[in-house]
Amino acid sequence: MALSAAEREAVCALWRKMGDNVGIYTTEALERTFLAFPSTKTYFPHLDLSPGSAQVKAHGRKVADALTHAVGHLDDLPGALSELSNLHARKLRVDPVNFQLLCHCLLVTLARHYPGDFSPAMQASLDKFLHHVTSALVSQYR
Protein backbone atom coordinates (compact mmCIF):
# COMPACT_ATOMS: atom_id res chain seq x y z
CA MET A 1 0.00 0.00 0.00
CA ALA A 2 2.98 2.29 -0.55
CA LEU A 3 2.37 5.62 -2.25
CA SER A 4 2.45 5.38 -6.03
CA ALA A 5 4.53 7.83 -8.06
CA ALA A 6 1.38 9.75 -8.99
CA GLU A 7 0.29 9.97 -5.34
CA ARG A 8 3.71 11.22 -4.27
CA GLU A 9 3.71 13.83 -7.00
CA ALA A 10 0.22 14.98 -5.97
CA VAL A 11 1.24 15.42 -2.32
CA CYS A 12 4.51 17.16 -3.24
CA ALA A 13 2.73 19.47 -5.69
CA LEU A 14 0.24 20.63 -3.08
CA TRP A 15 3.02 21.11 -0.54
CA ARG A 16 4.95 23.27 -3.05
CA LYS A 17 1.82 25.32 -3.61
CA MET A 18 1.26 25.84 0.11
CA GLY A 19 4.84 27.05 0.55
CA ASP A 20 5.23 28.75 3.91
CA ASN A 21 1.54 28.55 4.73
CA VAL A 22 1.41 24.96 5.95
CA GLY A 23 1.46 26.22 9.56
CA ILE A 24 -1.69 28.26 8.98
CA TYR A 25 -3.58 25.18 7.85
CA THR A 26 -2.32 22.82 10.53
CA THR A 27 -3.29 25.44 13.15
CA GLU A 28 -6.78 25.66 11.66
CA ALA A 29 -6.96 21.86 11.64
CA LEU A 30 -6.04 21.77 15.33
CA GLU A 31 -8.70 24.39 16.15
CA ARG A 32 -11.31 22.38 14.27
CA THR A 33 -10.23 19.18 16.01
CA PHE A 34 -10.56 20.75 19.46
CA LEU A 35 -13.98 22.18 18.63
CA ALA A 36 -15.54 19.17 16.89
CA PHE A 37 -13.89 16.53 19.08
CA PRO A 38 -13.48 18.03 22.56
CA SER A 39 -12.01 14.82 23.98
CA THR A 40 -8.83 15.65 22.06
CA LYS A 41 -8.28 18.64 24.32
CA THR A 42 -7.40 16.35 27.19
CA TYR A 43 -3.93 15.93 25.69
CA PHE A 44 -3.24 19.65 26.09
CA PRO A 45 -4.01 20.66 29.67
CA HIS A 46 -0.86 22.78 29.62
CA LEU A 47 -1.96 24.90 26.66
CA ASP A 48 -4.37 27.79 26.19
CA LEU A 49 -6.77 26.31 23.66
CA SER A 50 -9.00 29.32 23.09
CA PRO A 51 -9.49 30.34 19.42
CA GLY A 52 -6.54 32.39 18.20
CA SER A 53 -4.27 31.19 20.98
CA ALA A 54 -0.59 31.74 20.28
CA GLN A 55 0.17 28.38 21.86
CA VAL A 56 -2.08 26.55 19.43
CA LYS A 57 -0.38 28.44 16.58
CA ALA A 58 2.99 27.36 17.88
CA HIS A 59 1.82 23.78 18.09
CA GLY A 60 0.37 24.05 14.60
CA ARG A 61 3.81 25.09 13.34
CA LYS A 62 5.39 22.08 15.00
CA VAL A 63 2.90 19.78 13.27
CA ALA A 64 3.48 21.60 9.97
CA ASP A 65 7.25 21.20 10.22
CA ALA A 66 6.88 17.49 10.92
CA LEU A 67 4.55 16.98 7.96
CA THR A 68 6.79 19.01 5.65
CA HIS A 69 9.73 16.92 6.77
CA ALA A 70 7.69 13.79 6.01
CA VAL A 71 6.82 15.08 2.53
CA GLY A 72 10.53 15.49 1.88
CA HIS A 73 11.20 11.89 2.84
CA LEU A 74 8.37 9.93 1.29
CA ASP A 75 10.76 7.08 0.54
CA ASP A 76 11.46 6.47 4.19
CA LEU A 77 8.73 7.78 6.48
CA PRO A 78 9.54 5.44 9.39
CA GLY A 79 13.16 6.61 9.30
CA ALA A 80 12.31 10.28 8.94
CA LEU A 81 9.75 10.15 11.75
CA SER A 82 11.58 7.80 14.11
CA GLU A 83 12.27 10.44 16.76
CA LEU A 84 8.68 11.66 16.71
CA SER A 85 7.60 8.06 16.81
CA ASN A 86 9.62 7.52 20.00
CA LEU A 87 8.18 10.70 21.50
CA HIS A 88 4.61 9.56 20.84
CA ALA A 89 5.25 6.07 22.14
CA ARG A 90 7.23 6.88 25.27
CA LYS A 91 5.90 10.23 26.34
CA LEU A 92 2.83 11.56 24.52
CA ARG A 93 0.90 8.30 24.09
CA VAL A 94 -1.85 9.86 22.03
CA ASP A 95 -4.53 7.24 21.39
CA PRO A 96 -4.33 6.35 17.68
CA VAL A 97 -7.97 7.24 17.03
CA ASN A 98 -7.08 10.89 17.53
CA PHE A 99 -4.73 10.94 14.56
CA GLN A 100 -7.68 10.10 12.36
CA LEU A 101 -9.66 12.98 13.80
CA LEU A 102 -6.81 15.43 13.17
CA CYS A 103 -6.29 14.04 9.65
CA HIS A 104 -9.99 14.49 8.90
CA CYS A 105 -9.82 18.11 10.06
CA LEU A 106 -6.66 18.72 8.05
CA LEU A 107 -8.27 17.39 4.86
CA VAL A 108 -11.37 19.52 5.45
CA THR A 109 -9.12 22.56 6.01
CA LEU A 110 -7.12 21.96 2.84
CA ALA A 111 -10.33 21.38 0.86
CA ARG A 112 -11.57 24.78 2.02
CA HIS A 113 -8.42 26.58 1.00
CA TYR A 114 -7.57 24.73 -2.21
CA PRO A 115 -10.94 23.65 -3.62
CA GLY A 116 -9.67 23.78 -7.20
CA ASP A 117 -6.84 21.40 -6.40
CA PHE A 118 -8.79 19.09 -4.14
CA SER A 119 -10.00 16.45 -6.58
CA PRO A 120 -11.02 13.01 -5.30
CA ALA A 121 -7.62 11.71 -6.47
CA MET A 122 -5.77 14.44 -4.53
CA GLN A 123 -7.86 13.73 -1.44
CA ALA A 124 -7.07 10.01 -1.71
CA SER A 125 -3.33 10.72 -2.10
CA LEU A 126 -3.25 13.00 0.94
CA ASP A 127 -5.35 10.58 2.96
CA LYS A 128 -2.96 7.77 2.14
CA PHE A 129 0.08 9.92 2.96
CA LEU A 130 -1.39 10.94 6.32
CA HIS A 131 -2.27 7.32 7.02
CA HIS A 132 1.40 6.39 6.53
CA VAL A 133 2.53 9.24 8.76
CA THR A 134 0.09 8.09 11.46
CA SER A 135 1.29 4.50 11.16
CA ALA A 136 4.87 5.64 11.62
CA LEU A 137 3.95 7.69 14.68
CA VAL A 138 2.17 4.84 16.45
CA SER A 139 4.49 2.09 15.24
CA GLN A 140 6.37 1.81 18.54
CA TYR A 141 3.35 1.85 20.85
CA ARG A 142 3.64 -1.90 21.38
Partner 1 sequence: MSLTKAERTIITSMWGKVSTQADSIGTEALERLFTSYPQTKTYFPHFDLHPGSAQLRAHGSKVVAAVGDAVKSIDNIAGALSKLSELHAYILRVDPVNFKLLSHCLLVTVAARFPADFTAEAHAAWDKFLSVVSSVLTEKYR
Decide whether 30 or 80 has the Cβ nearer to partner 1.
30
17 is a site residue for partner 1 (CB under 8 A):
no
**DSSP conformational letter for 134:** H
- For partner 1, the binding residues in 28-57 under the rule CB under 8 A are 28, 31-32, 35-36, 51
Q: What is the rounded CA–CA span in Å between residue 20 and residue 15?
A: 9
Torsion-angle region of residue 48: left (phi > 0), alpha (psi -120 to 50) or beta? beta
Cα of 90 vs its chain's centroid, Å: 20
12 is a site residue for partner 1 (CB under 8 A):
no
Decide whether 111 or 138 has the Cβ nearer to partner 1.
111
Decide whether 47 or 107 has the Cβ nearer to partner 1.
107
Alpha helices in 5-119 (DSSP H): 5-18, 22-36, 54-71, 77-80, 82-87, 97-113
Cα of 78 vs its chain's centroid, Å: 15
69 is a site residue for partner 1 (CB under 8 A):
no
Helix (H) or strand (E) holding 124: helix 120-138
- For partner 1, the binding residues in 105-124 under the rule CB under 8 A are 105, 107-109, 111-113, 115, 118, 120-121, 123-124
Decide whether 19 or 120 has the Cβ nearer to partner 1.
120
- Binding residues vs partner 1 (CB under 8 A): 28, 31-32, 35-36, 51, 104-105, 107-109, 111-113, 115, 118, 120-121, 123-124, 127-128
